[in-house]
């Protein structure tokens, strides 16, 4: 299996789906000639031309709005919103149009649109270019929300998202773009709504998403040296959520730590904690712990930003605190 | 423009159907038989019919919260429409959408819309799909003067202009965005003036004059089909009823309403058709009676239709 970066894996998924299905096209700010702000769409403009790799004006509302209209009319758009923070200027098109059209129309419409966007701190990009806003989207029936943590997951999940007949938020993490890993070649899909166990263990379950999977893996190494074996569950898709894999892991370990990069208050981790509490309280040997960002905007100064992002050290300490 | 007698009767009947549908809906709402909000189109019929009667089956329409007229003009089934207004299982949307979300994808009708101005980018997207698939289709978006202040208007017109999309943006300028008169909500009198900001044609017509609307739409649709790009078309008209049923319309005066009723779009067509010898007053009466029967049958169908099963609540959220 070839090694690829997360960015290359996404690029490969886009290329393969565009080769397979002429209804698939991509659009967004600087995705064409420029190759994407993070270089993710590099080479696609040259291969598929300006009719299918479309540079748009700075018009997030029109990017998503036209995508919804085109999807309703039978195409499979893959719009890119350069930073997840910018979703705030096109939320109506996602929340009130794309997500609800099927239901409002009594099941007589489908919106096969995959919105690619980028979350996460760690680049010194400050408060308007670094947020993890996935919880917003999980609150809207009709959407699917995907957060890949590895190159292989990014490829397999993106292909599935593009083939899905529902609007999907595909949330990439900017710090992960340069990370490498083995990626299956050719046709490779991962079903949306299927979690992956990134590390097996018997003592404590850690549910972590996106970049936090890697923080959890680092913490697991430290903890293993101290004789604590953690199991890391990566939901990969947070909507729909693979509750069964989480509950099965908790049944094994009896302890749960949830790690997310988003602001902890009101974050998606709270939903996971609530589900486990409601459905499997008897399995728990200790209170559920959540780790997330403090209730502040993402700061600029690297010292502050570093303090903002949940660390492997805080995961280690939290796991140990469970006794 | 020359029309056959059949064509004129068809256009007229479409307008009469819209008016009858709306006045019937008003009555039903007043009787407490229709839940939720309804926004009625009475007075604006020439705009819907003048534009939509020229569309082809492959074309798309993005409508508004005041959308019944657009769907009737597109050939929507009034029985399914009433069933939707009544929240019945047999309605266009199985009772899940109501007046504000009536859609018929089989007619390329992308829905009424509860969000003012939301239709503009949707229509541009549908027009993009037509162009992308090279199927000679066009998309029409209706919106009001109020919506012309939204970001969606500006972003959609800009993107449609640079992509030369086959879309016709039809502003139904009925002089009010809910209670805000046009002079209070924008510093222009012709919304069509905004076209120049996007380098596209803008035309303002008497929206109560069917043939003026028809002629302007004919050219806009021709341009769109021939790859010449979008047009902003403004139809100046007036809603006889309030923003929604139950609106006391304290923001406008009776004289203004009456002055617009003197320019009633249906009466103007009727007068012209009688002058042209297309039909007599008796035949006119017969048309209203025939339409009334169809509309009443639709109401009966709706009232006799089952309510949705509660199990329907969680269906249709996702598509396989």
Instruction: CATH number for A3-182: choose from 3.40.50.2020, 3.40.220.10, 3.40.50.970, 3.40.50.150.
Output: 3.40.50.970
The answer to whether B93 contacts chain A (CB < 8 Å) is yes
Asked whether the predicted pLDDT for residue A32 surpasses 90, the reply is yes
Listed in sequence order, the residues at least 6 apart from A286 whose beta carbon sits closer than 8 Å to its beta carbon are A254, A255, A322, A323
> Under 8 Å CB-to-CB from A293, ≥6 apart: which residues?
A121, A132, A261, A262, A263, A264, A308, A309, A310
Is A101 in CB contact (< 8 Å) with chain B?
A: yes
**B101 to chain A: which residues are within 8 Å by CB?**
104-105
* 3-state secondary structure labels for all residues of A246-292: HHHHHHHHCCEEEEEEEECCCCHHHHHHHHHHHHHHHHCCCCCEEEE
Query: Is residue A141 less than 8 Å (CB to CB) from chain B?
Result: yes
Please give the pLDDT value at position A69: 98
Say yes or no for a CB contact (<8 Å) between A69 and B105: no
Q: What is the pLDDT of residues A191-234, one digit of tens each?
A: 999 999 999 999 999 999 999 999 999 999 999 999 999 999 99
- Spell out the residues 6+ positions from residue B238 whose beta carbon is closer than 8 angstroms to its own: B43, B44, B174, B175, B208, B257, B260, B263
Quote the Cα angle for B119-B123-B127, to 5°.
175
CATH number at residue B95: 3.40.50.970
Of chain A, the percentage scoring pLDDT greater than 70 comes to: 100
A163 touches chain B (CB under 8 A): no
Domain ranges in chain A? 3-182, 196-321
Tell me: pLDDT of A322 over 90.
Answer: yes
Mark yes or no for CB contact A69/B129 under 8 Å: yes
Of B240, B220, B242, nearest in space to B230 by CA:
B220
Q: Which residues 36-95 on chain A approach chain B with CB closer than 8 angstroms?
A: 51, 56-57, 59, 61-62, 64-75, 77, 89, 92-93
Cα-flanking dihedrals φ and ψ of residue B159, to 5°?
-70, -35
**Across the interface, which of A57, A110, A141 has its CB nearest the CB of B159?**
A57
Q: Determine contact, residues A201/A145, Cβ cutoff 8 Å.
A: no
Q: What percent of chain A has pLDDT over 90?
A: 98
Q: What range defines the domain where residue B67 resides?
A: 5-303
pTM for the structure as a whole: 0.97
- Interface touch A75/B92, C-beta < 8 Å: no
Residue B308 lies in a domain: no
Q: In chain B, which residue's Cα lies nearest the Cα of A89? A: B151
Residue B309 lies in a domain: no
Is the CB of A27 inside 8 Å of chain B's CB atoms? no
Report the number of secondary-structure helices (H) and strands (E) in chain A.
Answer: 12, 14
Q: How confident is the model at residue A108 (pLDDT cuts 50, 70, 90)?
A: very high
Is residue A173 flagged as an active site residue?
Answer: no
Q: Which pLDDT tens digit goes with each residue over A14-28?
A: 999 999 999 999 999
pLDDT of residue A323: 80
In angstroms, the separation between the Cα of residue A216 and the nearest Cα of chain B is 32
Q: Based on the structure, what is the number of domains in chain B?
A: 1
Please check whether residue A193 touches B, CB under 8 A.
no
pLDDT of residue B2: 82
Is B318 part of a structural domain of the chain?
no
Closest residue of A to B88, CA-based? A106
Q: How many residues does the structure list for chain B?
A: 320
Q: In this structure, is residue B312 part of a structural domain?
A: no
Domains A3-182 and A196-321 share a fold: yes
User: Is B166 in CB contact (< 8 Å) with chain A?
Assistant: no
Which pLDDT does position A191 carry in this prediction?
98
Question: Do residue B93 and residue A104 have CB atoms under 8 angstroms apart?
Answer: yes
ipTM above 0.85, yes or no: yes
- Confidence category of residue A123, pLDDT binned at 50, 70, 90: very high
- How do residues A132-158 score in pLDDT, each as one tens digit? 999 999 999 999 999 999 999 999 999
User: With b meaning 16 or more CB within 10 Å and e meaning fewer, what string describes A208-245?
Assistant: bbbbbbbbbbebbebbeeeebebbbbbbbbbbebbbeb
**Contacts with A, B 98-127, CB within 8 Å:** 101, 103-105, 108, 110-111, 113-115, 118, 120-127
Q: How far apart are CA B37 and CA B100, in angstroms?
A: 8
Is B310 a member of any domain?
Answer: no
The verdict on a CB contact (< 8 Å) between B96 and A105 is yes
- Helix and strand counts by DSSP (H, E) for chain B: 11, 7
What are the per-10-residue average pLDDT scores of chain B (320 residues)? 90 98 97 95 98 98 98 98 98 97 97 97 98 98 98 98 98 97 97 98 98 98 98 98 94 96 98 93 96 98 98 97
A196-321 CATH, one of 2.40.160.20, 3.40.605.10, 3.40.50.920, 3.40.50.300: 3.40.50.920
What DSSP letter does each residue of A59-112 carry, written as one string?
-HHHHHHHHHHHHHTT-EEEEEESSGGGGGGSHIIIIIIIHHHHHHTTT-----
Q: List chain A residues with CB under 8 Å of B60.
A: 69, 73
Asked if residues B33 and B86 have their Cβ atoms less than 8 Å apart, the reply is: yes
Q: Is A275 exposed, middle or buried (0-12, 13-18, 19+ CB in 10 A)?
A: middle
């Amino acid at each position: 299996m070839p090694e690829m970066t997360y960015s290359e894996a996404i690029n490969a998924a886009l290329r393969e789906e565009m080769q397979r299905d002429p209804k698939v096209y991509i659009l967004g700010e600087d995705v064409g000639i420029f190759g994407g702000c993070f270089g993710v769409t590099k080479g696609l403009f040259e291969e598929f031309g300006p009719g299918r790799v479309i540079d748009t004006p700075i018009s997030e509302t029109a990017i998503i709005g036209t995508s919804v209209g085109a999807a309703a009319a039978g195409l499979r758009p893959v719009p890119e919103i350069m930073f997840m923070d910018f979703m705030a200027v096109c939320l109506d098109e996602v929340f009130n149009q794309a997500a609800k059209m099927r239901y409002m129309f009594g099941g007589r419409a489908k919106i096969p649109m995959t919105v690619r966007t980028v979350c996460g701190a760690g680049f010194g990009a400050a408060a308007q270019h670094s947020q993890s806003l996935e919880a917003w989207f999980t609150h809207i029936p009709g959407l699917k929300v995907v957060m890949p943590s590895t190159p292989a997951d990014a490829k397999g999940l993106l292909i599935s998202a593009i083939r899905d007949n529902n609007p999907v938020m595909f949330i990439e993490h900017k710090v992960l773009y340069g990370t490498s890993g083995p990626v299956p070649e050719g046709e490779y899909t991962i079903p949306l709504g299927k979690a992956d166990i990134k590390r097996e263990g018997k003592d404590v379950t850690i549910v972590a998403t996106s970049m936090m999977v890697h923080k959890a893996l680092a913490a697991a190494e430290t903890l293993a040296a101290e004789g604590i074996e953690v199991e890391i569950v990566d939901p990969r898709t947070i909507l729909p959520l693979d509750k069964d894999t989480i509950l099965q892991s908790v049944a094994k370990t009896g302890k749960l730590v949830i790690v997310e990069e988003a602001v902890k208050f009101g974050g998606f981790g709270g939903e996971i904690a609530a589900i486990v509490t409601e459905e499997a309280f008897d399995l728990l040997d200790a209170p559920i712990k959540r780790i997330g960002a403090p209730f502040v905007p993402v700061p600029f100064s690297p010292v502050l930003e570093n303090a903002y992002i949940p660390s492997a050290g805080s995961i280690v300490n939290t796991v140990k605190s469970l006794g | 423009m020359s029309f056959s007698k059949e064509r004129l009767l068809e256009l007229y009947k479409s307008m009469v159907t819209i008016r009858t549908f709306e006045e019937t809906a008003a009555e039903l709402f007043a009787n407490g038989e229709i839940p939720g909000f309804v926004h009625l189109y009475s007075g604006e019929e020439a705009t819907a019919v003048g534009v939509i009667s020229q569309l082809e089956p492959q074309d798309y329409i993005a409508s508004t919260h005041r959308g019944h007229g657009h769907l009737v003009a597109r050939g929507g089934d009034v029985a399914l429409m009433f069933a939707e207004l009544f929240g019945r299982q047999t309605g266009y949307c199985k009772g899940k959408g109501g007046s504000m979300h009536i859609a018929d994808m089989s007619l390329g009708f992308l829905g009424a819309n509860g969000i003012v101005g939301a239709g503009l980018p949707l229509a541009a997207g549908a027009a993009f799909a037509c162009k992308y698939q090279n199927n000679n289709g066009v998309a029409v978006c209706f919106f009001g003067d109020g919506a012309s202040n939204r970001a969606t208007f500006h972003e959609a017109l800009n993107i449609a202009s640079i992509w030369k999309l086959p879309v016709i943006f039809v502003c139904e300028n009925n002089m009010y965005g809910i209670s805000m008169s046009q002079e209070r909500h924008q510093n222009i009198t012709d919304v069509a003036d905004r076209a120049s900001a996007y380098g596209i044609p803008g035309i303002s017509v008497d929206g109560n004059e069917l043939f003026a609307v028809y002629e302007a739409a004919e050219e806009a649709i021709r341009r769109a089909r021939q790859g010449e790009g979008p047009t902003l078309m403004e139809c100046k008209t007036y809603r006889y009823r309030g923003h929604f049923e139950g609106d006391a319309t304290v923001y406008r005066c009776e004289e203004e309403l009456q002055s617009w009723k003197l320019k009633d779009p249906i009466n103007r067509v009727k007068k012209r058709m009688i002058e042209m010898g297309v039909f007599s007053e008796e035949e006119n009466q017969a048309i209203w009676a025939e339409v009334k029967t169809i509309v009443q049958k639709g109401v009966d169908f709706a009232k006799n239709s089952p309510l949705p099963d509660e199990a329907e609540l969680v269906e249709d959220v996702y598509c396989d």
